[in-house]
Amino acid sequence: MSGRKRFKSIFAGILAVIFLTFDTISRFGGLPSAHAAPPPPEIAADSYILADLKTQKILFSKDPDVPHIPASLTKIMTLFITFDDLAAGKISLDDEVPVSEEAWKTGGSKMFLLVGTKVKLSDLVKGITVASGNDACVALAEYISGNVTSFVDRMNQKARSLGLSTARFVDPHGLSDENQISAKDLLTLVSAYVTSHPEALQFHSLKEFTYTPPGEKPITQFNRNRLLWTYPGVYGLKTGYTSRAGFNMVALCDRSGFSTIAIILGSAKGKSIDEGERERSELVTSMLDYAYRNFTYVQVAEPNSVVGKARVWKGKGKWTEAVAPLGLGATVEKGKEDKLTYTIHMRKDLDAPVARGTKVGEAIFICEGQEVGRMDLLAKNEVPKGNIFRQVWDVIARAFLRAFGRI
């Protein structure tokens, strides 16, 4: 065989291999990616979300904006208001709360309060987080707001202030199927709750609680969140069930700083309590497994780090330091850790007075050209309003800078 014929034969063989390779690629979905996460698991529920708790980056979901009956997940808002008032000094965990007849006769899951007795507010909180006591919710609502109706009004006001467009509450415990909220709004609610009141998490992580009514024998009840026993890293948060709602859960888990939240609504409908709780736990386990097998959290700054300064106009001072309460970081697919970048954006419209904890900016995280998360930056220090001369000067200075495109 001549050299030219030998060359043509080899070249034809190479082309054949190339065409066969690309035919195989086209039939099996293209070139494999070294970093692409596999498809998420199938979750038998009406609605669900798996997300990074720190940035609220959703890893996968189904119908996250559709309102659903929360059942006892309603109690998260009740506890949010309770811890708001505890933080403000309006109430104390040592307060003795009277038990009314309305609280005592409330149906469903109970802490087993006795009418006419008094119970420590700290025990009521445990009775809600562990035993999901509906009677405890009514006792708290009456103590904080005077009556249940006024307390429920406050729950809805809080929902509006948080921007929860699908949330509607009609009671403090979730017995009514007229309560509603979407998985996406639950994500926002829980994120705000645990960020504002991390001290509440010690109550949600309790596996059991023993309450002794006056003159009665001790009553021990166990947390309905089975994952507190079975899934390493789970530390909360709440379960819920009614026959119409199905089996609901908000699960919080942390492993090496990677904090996840799994929300499931409307699972295991028609199942017995034992079957439903088991199926709910299995579904949430598969969601958390998916997160920790395929994603990782990249931290770039420690919690409460100062990451910059924000300009404050008309204030006694010109600047407030910006802190990241949860640290800075974002969740990426495993193998892409070194591709994470971020930028800091400070607000330019801050007028004094600026309270400590006011949002003054945000960090935006990018991986391979795609946004993968945001984190709020908060004012570390208060900036009170300046005197009249400072205010007039800053009005002139800001107008001048805007005219020249400097802000």
pTM, two decimals, is 0.85
User: Was 120 annotated as part of a binding site?
Assistant: no
394 neighbors 385 (Cβ within 8 angstroms) = no
Annotated catalytic residue within 100, 132, 145, 281: 132
What are the pLDDT digits (tens) for 362-403? 999 999 999 999 999 999 999 999 899 888 888 888 888 888
Give yes or no: 105 in active site. no
Q: Is 341 helix (H, G, I), strand (E, B) or coil?
A: strand
Give yes or no: 9 in active site. no
What are the pLDDT digits (tens) for 88-144? 999 999 999 999 999 999 999 999 999 999 999 999 999 999 999 999 999 999 999
253 neighbors 237 (Cβ within 8 angstroms) = no
Q: Mind listing the domains of the chain with CATH numbers?
A: 45-294 (3.40.710.10), 302-403 (2.60.410.10)
pLDDT for residue 243? 95
Annotated catalytic residue within 61, 72, 100, 281: 72
Annotated catalytic residue within 57, 75, 126, 314: 75
Neighbours of 101 (CB within 10 A): 9
Sign of CA dihedral 40, 45, 46, 52: negative
Helix H or strand E encompassing 333: strand 328-333
Give yes or no: 132 in active site. yes
- CA distances to 24, 113, 142, 277, 354 from 101, in Å: 73, 10, 11, 31, 45
Residue 186, classified by CB atoms within 10 Å of its CB into exposed (0-12), middle (13-18) or buried (19+), is buried
**Band (406; pLDDT cuts 50, 70, 90):** confident
User: Kind of pairing, strands 208-211 and 219-222?
Assistant: antiparallel
Q: Which of 24-33, 36-45, 247-256, 269-278 has the lowest mean pLDDT?
A: 24-33
